[in-house]
Structure 1
Amino acid sequence: MKKLLLGFAAGLLLTHAANAQSATGNPQLATLLNEYYETSARLDPLSATFRGDARYNDQLPIDFTDSYRAENRRTWQGFLAQLRAIDRTQLPPADQLNYDVLRYDLLMQIERLSLPENQIVFTQFSGLPQSLALLGSGASAQPFKTVADYDNWLKRASVFPAWSDSALVYFRKGIASGMVMPKVLVEKLVPQLNALVATDISKSTFYKPVAQFPEGISDADRQRLTAAFTSLIQEKLNPSYRKLAQFFQTEYLPSARATAGYGALPGGKKMYDFRVKQFTTTNLSADAIFNLGQKEVARIRHEMEAVKKQVGFTGSLKEFFAYMRTDPKFYPYKDAEGILNYYRSITPRIQPMLARMFNKVPKTPFEVRQVEAFRAATAAAHYFAGSLEQGRPGIFYVPILDAAKTQSRESLFLHEAIPGHHYQISLQYENEALPKFRRYGFSTAYMEGWGLYAESLGKELGVYTDPYQYMLALGDEMHRAIRLVVDAGMHARGWTREQAIQYSLDNEPIEEQRAVSEIERYMAYAGQALSYKMGELKIKELRARYQKQLGSKFNLAAFHDALLMDGALPLDILERKMDAWAKAQLK
């Protein structure tokens, strides 16, 4: 998938291609960029839906099969050949940037499709079974506004039995080859799947769209659609989820592995090396990233010691972590609404400084919501992008299993919401000057690097005035530094799950339940967790460089605007672009 998790983080409306203006001056390149985007949407209709492109809302390809992947790979190789036929040196700077990003995307996709990652079709952390439930609930990107919308969904969801049967074939291939998930992840996956089997059809998450029809749908259509949804759930979805759960419980679990990392898989080193490159957009080795992570952990620990001293805590840093994890004063909430209201109060507090740090801000509205119950146990806080055209706000989703055991963090809001992902993603999606494949594209290191950089702006924005909130912010930064160590540790150095959990507990103020959930996320989604810190370090490096180079000519708002204006870029391409910007500021 390309990636459904990122679809959650980046859902948005797409204007139909026929109505879109080309954002490049070279006709040959403009045609290629448009064809690339259109082909991507056709081959990956779920991602198109998450972007809001309704043309493929009735389609559900079985996209993990060897034949489907081979078709994709041949397609992207053809695009790469066409791109190489264009003389980059004859292009203007904006088109050179388009050229570079497309070349990077194609090379990464071609390499990814050569790896046997399709023998683990989905995990407890992300995949179609979870995203199908989110789409079918009516609370996500799949629209349920017209009769055609409902019929599109019925057609799409009716493919799920064939999709899930094919998934079983590939999971069994994985069992035969040794390409299997860790046992602890499978144990989390089984109850997820069982939870989506509804004995009372009217209480199924898939029944919600017909339990709350929009105005304008006739009584006859309501009756037909209600019957069709009931039949879909009863005859196709329930049996498929039940079959998957039983397979994992009885057949897959006994073959699952006890190890944590990709290094234990056949060809695992090659797979992890690719994922390091994919998610960091650098050529650094896993060992180099592991060592960098250890240095960052040491630096942040020193800052944490200073905060501990400031508040007068006389015990060790680990005891201070335990104190912040257990003292009731850090858990003031009685219900979920109290936590959500706390996060809603942050925007007006930081608004005066935001106006000084950003010249251009999103027009897309914004909301804070609680994560739905069916996925709250395994979901992290995340951002789901909105759409001006659809009137859909950007949403900061907060998972709350038990309000009395949940801490609120200013840094989390800055990262996921404002000025983090809501600013970065919304400004990119609102920028009609970008070609569509970039307007709706992503680079994890850039996006998550921006989110973590946004956390670092807390004191400049007027928050982190409470030392305990600053300690939690340091804890969040430490969390991303730890990721460099534990992700590379598990997947490249043979660390166990328990080693990684303990390393987290020893170095950050984190609840054990969250530490376990995070480590299991890295086990399932290798390499992605590296992107945050690597992206943040690059953005901070660029800011420091230009402040030194430009002196009094450096303007923070202009820097932020330039950083965000061209959307998510691989870090080396971003650096070249920003170096050119800095040179222009000197003239």
Structure 2
Amino acid sequence: MKKHTLHLSPTAFAIAMTLALVGCNDETTIVEQPKDTEQPATQLRSVFDNYQSAIKTLDNTYFGQITDQMASSRQSVDRMYLDKLEQINRDALSDEDKIYYDTFRFDRNIAIRGASLPNPRFGNFDIPITHFYNYIEWNASAAGSKQDSPDAYHKHIQVIREFTAWANNLLSQYSLAITDGAQLPQVLTSRLIDSTAEAMRANGQPYGLLEQGLNDIKATGNGYSAEFIAEYQKAVEDAQASVDEIIAFLGGDYFTSARGSNSASDTNIGWGDLPNGQAWYQWQLDRNSTTGKSAMELNQLGEDLVADAKAEMIRVAQLIVEKRGETIKAKWRNPQDDVIERTFNLVNADNERSINLDEFFDYLNSEQFFYGRDGRTITGTPYAELCKAASEQTACEAALIDYNIFKTDANDVVASYFKPIKTDYTIVPVPKNREKYDGVASYGGNEFNLNTHPDYSLQKWNVSTLLLHEAAPGHHFQNAYSIEYPPADKPDYIKGVWYTAYAEGWALYTEWLGLEMGIYGDLNSEGKPTFVNATGMCKPDLDYTTFQGGIYSDAEECNALQYFGSLNEAQLRNMRLAVDTGIHAKGWSIEQAQNYMNQNSALGDGDIESESFRYAAYVGQAVSYKSGYLVIMEMLELAQSELGSQFDWASFHDQLLKYGDQPMEVVETSIKNWIKTPK
């Protein structure tokens, strides 16, 4: 147990005074105003530092407390420091500090709004936990982790106990949800139960994830008394019991009283069907898109963009018809999971001989386009050891060969568009126990995590766009840039800010940047790739009878289909606007979402399945990609128009990246101020 002194610091005293006022009828709030003698920049950093201290004082637990009471208390602190911020003369700040000022103001306003809604604990990513954002697994992994010394283990036992307290509190929050009528639907509850039980397994043990540190202590032996080992084991057993209780409760009373019938056809699975759900959903949209658009505006934007994207898809299909003819035979997995030879009729029998996009989409999902389903056996590569973590060795090794080849090409091409990046990244397979739940790829800690399962991975024609998005110059450059080119006086508070519209908007922008960089060939007068003279993976001198299993006739077709991957991923982000709002604001089912994605893209069945459940679970996040991208593209066009010959790609990207995550309305201010600055 931590000991607390009776002598309160000024920060703690201010918090105590504020919290004492919660619930009072008057609106008096004690706020220590910035000193007039301090420079505005100094005042700003004092507000940031004191806010962080205040939040840490309010909740210094390892995993964080999630209750309505804590949400209310945090709101009081947010209001206090918003008041402090607004006493600072913003006009006297530098352009850089204005970015920090505006970001902090946006953060406080969105948090205050969320805590003002009923059931304020929902204004936190942790509640409700889902299979996609499974904090039970992540926190258990931290609690059960190995430590590097006996001293570290003696300290870490408290973390395990705090995990148990966190898990017990989580159970109480789920119990409250039954009373509130604010549960996950059954279709997501069952997925959470399955993913949690599966994630807890490690080394063949049901709770191996929590036992890794304990097993290490027992194996090491020296430096630990029998009493300590027994104490540590008891802490682990208590943690295991708390997870057992959560799983049992979720599968019992919680599941029985949850919405729906555990079917993909349920139409009341969205947040809009919860009490006060539409208001909560709009808050999620505002937090994730940071653009202020309503659910219906975003839905219509998505529908319009989906329709527009099909024209360019047809252009690619026409080139394939020119290369291979109107009909193509290939092996294809039917809905009964049988692999059959199928004839794909890519042209409609009408007067105009128009492209049949449905058939073209199906052709691009034939077996030859998937690693591990194309009949090849790939072994003995440099990635063999790494691929032992995946479920399918051949699929994993084949994928890592191609992605690493393009990694080298991409690094060469992006160099002229950015300041030099020294930090490297590694492409690693998603472990087999997470392949079903994690989606197709992710990035974190200088690792590009690639799902190589044959049924849950992307097709071969997606290599270029996926690597551009997740790694270079996508998420990896975001991460590396913040480390290698930080502003001289960036506040600690800003270093911890994260906005998905910024992060994912950037990654989607870098997919588009692939066109500008000539990855798919020279551009025509409309800015569309011609598929010749490409700088990407489709080199003219490759042996196309063997490259990726012989799926291309030549470099032109290779570039066209890699470009189609870019189109298809862009279409995915268009559809996300429609599908996320469809589920949570318009009452779509999982089945409706899947049908919509199937009709408007060439996404594989496994990808569509995981994506549809993701949108239901990770509320509002899917709209962030296109929302952020559109703002960045608008700012790019403005910068190129205003600066003309003075426009420089590396400088523009430097301004976008060096401050880290920002709300998109702050990005607009940042770029506009940069444009006005003398070059």
- The TM-score bracket by the shorter chain reads 0.7 to 0.9
Question: What is the alpha-carbon distance in structure 2 between the residues aligned to residue 123 and residue 222 of structure 1?
Answer: 39
Change beyond 3 A, Cα 1:257–1:169 = same
Change beyond 3 A, Cα 1:231–1:463 = farther
Match of 2:245 among 240, 243, 246: 243
| Equivalence for 1:207 | 211
3-state DSSP class of the match of 2:195? helix
3-state DSSP class of the match of 1:457? helix
The answer on 1:367 being equivalent to 2:426 is yes
Question: What is the alpha-carbon distance in structure 1 between the residues aligned to residue 40 and residue 635 of structure 2?
Answer: 29
**Structure 2 counterpart of 1:552, one-letter code:** S
- 1:167 Cα offset (Å): 1.8
3-state DSSP class of the match of 2:447? strand
The answer on 1:463 being equivalent to 2:536 is yes
**Structure 2 counterpart of 1:135, one-letter code:** A
- 1:153 Cα offset (Å): 3.4
| Equivalence for 2:399 | 339
Contact 1:64 1:121 in 2 (8 A): no
Change beyond 3 A, Cα 1:469–1:39 = farther
The answer on 1:522 being equivalent to 2:607 is no
Q: Deviations over 1:272-316 (max 9, x none)?
A: 111111111111111111111112111211111111111115242
| Equivalence for 2:640 | 547
| Equivalence for 1:123 | 130
Question: What is the alpha-carbon distance in structure 2 between the residues aligned to residue 457 and residue 549 of structure 1?
Answer: 20
Q: Percent identity?
A: 29
Match of 2:506 among 433, 450, 464: 450
TM-score by length of 2: 0.73
**Structure 2 counterpart of 1:131, one-letter code:** W
Question: What is the alpha-carbon distance in structure 1 between the residues aligned to residue 172 and residue 212 of structure 2?
Answer: 31
User: How many residues of Structure 1 are paired with residues of Structure 2 in the alignment?
Assistant: 536
Question: What is the alpha-carbon distance in structure 1 between the residues aligned to residue 232 and residue 211 of structure 2?
Answer: 7
Question: What is the alpha-carbon distance in structure 2 between the residues aligned to residue 127 and residue 197 of structure 1?
Answer: 11
Q: Which has the larger radius of gyration?
A: 2
Change beyond 3 A, Cα 1:254–1:117 = farther
Question: What is the alpha-carbon distance in structure 2 between the residues aligned to residue 285 and residue 172 of structure 1?
Answer: 32
Question: What is the alpha-carbon distance in structure 2 between the residues aligned to residue 339 and residue 38 of structure 1?
Answer: 46
- 1:177 Cα offset (Å): 2.0
- 1:324 Cα offset (Å): 1.6
Worse-matched range after superposition: 147-156 or 247-256? 147-156
Question: What is the alpha-carbon distance in structure 2 between the residues aligned to residue 163 and residue 236 of structure 1?
Answer: 12
Question: What is the alpha-carbon distance in structure 2 between the residues aligned to residue 196 and residue 327 of structure 1?
Answer: 30
| Equivalence for 1:48 | none
| Equivalence for 1:11 | none
Match of 1:293 among 285, 288, 302: 302
Match of 1:153 among 122, 135, 156: 156
Match of 2:653 among 550, 560, 563: 560
The answer on 1:358 being equivalent to 2:418 is yes
Contact 2:210 2:240 in 1 (8 A): no
| Equivalence for 1:535 | 628
Q: Deviations over 1:508-550 (max 9, x none)?
A: 1112222122111111121111000111111112112222222
Contact 1:415 1:455 in 2 (8 A): yes
Match of 1:488 among 561, 570, 581: 581
**Structure 1 counterpart of 2:481, one-letter code:** L
The answer on 1:326 being equivalent to 2:402 is no
Contact 2:573 2:626 in 1 (8 A): yes
Question: Superposed, which structure 2 residues align to 1:6-405 within 5 Å?
Answer: 26-40=41-55, 59-61=62-64, 63-115=65-117, 116=119, 118=121, 120-136=127-143, 138=145, 144-196=147-199, 204-209=208-213, 219-221=222-224, 230-233=233-236, 235-258=237-260, 259-312=268-321, 314-315=346-347, 316-331=356-371, 332=374, 334-361=394-421, 363-386=422-445, 394-402=446-454
Q: Deviations over 1:457-490 (max 9, x none)?
A: 2231433742222212211111111000011111
| Equivalence for 1:425 | 479
**Structure 2 counterpart of 1:446, one-letter code:** Y
Q: Deviations over 1:96-115 (max 9, x none)?
A: 22211111111111122233
Question: What is the alpha-carbon distance in structure 2 between the residues aligned to residue 355 and residue 255 of structure 1?
Answer: 56
Question: What is the alpha-carbon distance in structure 2 between the residues aligned to residue 567 and residue 495 of structure 1?
Answer: 35
Contact 1:420 1:454 in 2 (8 A): yes
Worse-matched range after superposition: 336-345 or 35-44? 35-44
| Equivalence for 1:13 | none
Question: What is the alpha-carbon distance in structure 1 between the residues aligned to residue 271 and residue 205 of structure 2?
Answer: 39
| Equivalence for 2:338 | none
Change beyond 3 A, Cα 1:247–1:99 = same
Contact 2:200 2:207 in 1 (8 A): no
- 1:320 Cα offset (Å): 1.5
Change beyond 3 A, Cα 1:244–1:36 = same
Match of 1:416 among 444, 449, 470: 470
Question: What is the alpha-carbon distance in structure 1 between the residues aligned to residue 59 and residue 359 of structure 2?
Answer: 49
3-state DSSP class of the match of 1:31? helix
Contact 1:197 1:242 in 2 (8 A): no
**Structure 2 counterpart of 1:463, one-letter code:** G
TM-score by length of 1: 0.84
Worse-matched range after superposition: 263-272 or 365-374? 365-374
Contact 2:505 2:627 in 1 (8 A): yes
3-state DSSP class of the match of 1:219? coil
Gaps (5+ residues) in structure 1?
A: 1-23, 46-55, 387-393
3-state DSSP class of the match of 1:97? helix
Worse-matched range after superposition: 148-157 or 500-509? 148-157
Change beyond 3 A, Cα 1:576–1:309 = same
**Structure 2 counterpart of 1:342, one-letter code:** D
| Equivalence for 2:341 | none
Contact 1:198 1:238 in 2 (8 A): no
Contact 2:369 2:459 in 1 (8 A): no
Change beyond 3 A, Cα 1:382–1:441 = farther
Contact 2:55 2:77 in 1 (8 A): no
- 1:128 Cα offset (Å): 2.2
| Equivalence for 2:36 | none
Change beyond 3 A, Cα 1:152–1:113 = farther
The answer on 1:437 being equivalent to 2:493 is yes
Contact 1:443 1:570 in 2 (8 A): yes
Question: What is the alpha-carbon distance in structure 2 between the residues aligned to residue 225 and residue 338 of structure 1?
Answer: 48
Worse-matched range after superposition: 515-524 or 262-271? 515-524
Question: What is the alpha-carbon distance in structure 1 between the residues aligned to residue 231 and residue 562 of structure 2?
Answer: 51
Question: What is the alpha-carbon distance in structure 2 between the residues aligned to residue 373 and residue 529 of structure 1?
Answer: 25
